Amino acid sequence: MSRLIKESEGTGRLHIDSPLMGESLVSKALLARTEATEYFRMHPDVNVLKIGGQSIMDRGGQALFPILEELIRLKERHKILLMTGGGTRARHVYNIGVDLGMPTGVLSKLGDKVSWQNAEMLAVLLSKHGGVKIGHGDNLEQLTMFCQLGYLPITYGIPPYGFFEHPAEHGSIPPHRTDCGAFLLAENIGARSVIFLKDEKGLYDRDPKKVPQDQRAALRFFERVTAGELLALDLDDLIIERPILTFLQRAKCLKEIRIIDALNHPEYIARALEGENVGTLITKD
């Protein structure tokens, strides 16, 4: 018998000799011991920028072209990975799927096609400037190399859960959509930052679009807030997907996320990449 494989006393099982052999991997005490003092960061200089589907892509060239011009300029100084949202077309297919009684996992598979289409359009528009569309299962290890060679990598934001999407706490809409996908990828590649490009200044306590103009002065704007504070407030609506707040609390690499108004102020992208105080900063507790 190999010296690495031995019979566990009294169980009859064969184990590879390792610190986790015979463990159930659900013990809280055991899991706490697996915490690393420092986590390896695959792409510590890459900035993940998620372009909103409904807030930007759905508005067409008038909204998108100034942002792309800014990104073309910035890619010479910053390593950038673009990720795309779904937008109104994803909401349309969700609506049809809900009406047909489709389960959450099926809705997740339906919604990812729209984010993919938006990534394809960005890749075409940016092709002569080095834009290249990549998938979730390939090329992610080469992100830094792409950026160093002058490319601008682009992928779709929806995480590849598909049928394995988590059951929604309320209703049936997939809880982990393109904002979550951008965060999860940024966390797991050890990205420098993740910035959400939206059409509002940042996070308010209510959706400004649903508040009459004469009442907007009463809105509370969050310039800086922790994930824990937002979870405690339990706001009815958020400018980003709610699971991100829990992800951020548990994150090993990312310490914060930023939300900016890139629609009306494309120049804010550069300021955010430089770490300036624009938009809303949500920090880990």
Q: Encode pLDDT of 189-236 as tens digits.
A: 999 999 999 999 999 999 999 988 888 888 999 999 999 999 999 999
CA distance 241 to 54: 14
Q: What is the mean predicted confidence (pLDDT) over 151-170?
A: 94
Among residues 50, 115, 109, which one has the least CA distance to residue 88? 115
**200-210 as b/e, with b when 16 or more CB fall inside 10 Å?**
bbbbbbeebee
- For residue 12, the SS3 value is coil
In the structure encoding, which two tokens stand for residue 190, read together?
A: 């050890």
- ∠ CA 14-16-21, nearest 5°, is 90
How many other CB atoms are found less than 10 A from the CB of residue 168? 15
Query: Which residues lie closer than 8 Å to 153 by C-beta, 6 or more apart?
Result: 80, 81, 82, 132, 133, 134, 139, 143, 146, 147
Among residues 269, 281, 258, 264, which one has the least CA distance to residue 199? 264
If one compares 83 and 137, the residue with the highest pLDDT of the two is 83
Q: What is the mean predicted confidence (pLDDT) over 260-267?
A: 97
pTM of the entire predicted model: 0.91
Chosen CATH of 38-283 out of 3.40.1160.10, 3.10.580.10, 3.40.50.300, 3.40.50.2300: 3.40.1160.10
Q: Is the pLDDT of residue 1 over 50?
A: no
Q: Where in the chain are the domains?
A: 1-35, 38-283
**What phi and psi, each to the nearest 5 degrees, are found at residue 190?**
65, 40
Q: What is the mean predicted confidence (pLDDT) over 59-72?
A: 97
Give the DSSP letter string of 67-106: HHHHHHHHTTTSEEEEEE---HHHHHHHHHHHHTT--HHH
User: What is the pLDDT at residue 37?
Assistant: 86
Q: Is the pLDDT of residue 24 over 90?
A: no
CA distance 56 to 121: 13
User: What is the pLDDT at residue 123?
Assistant: 97
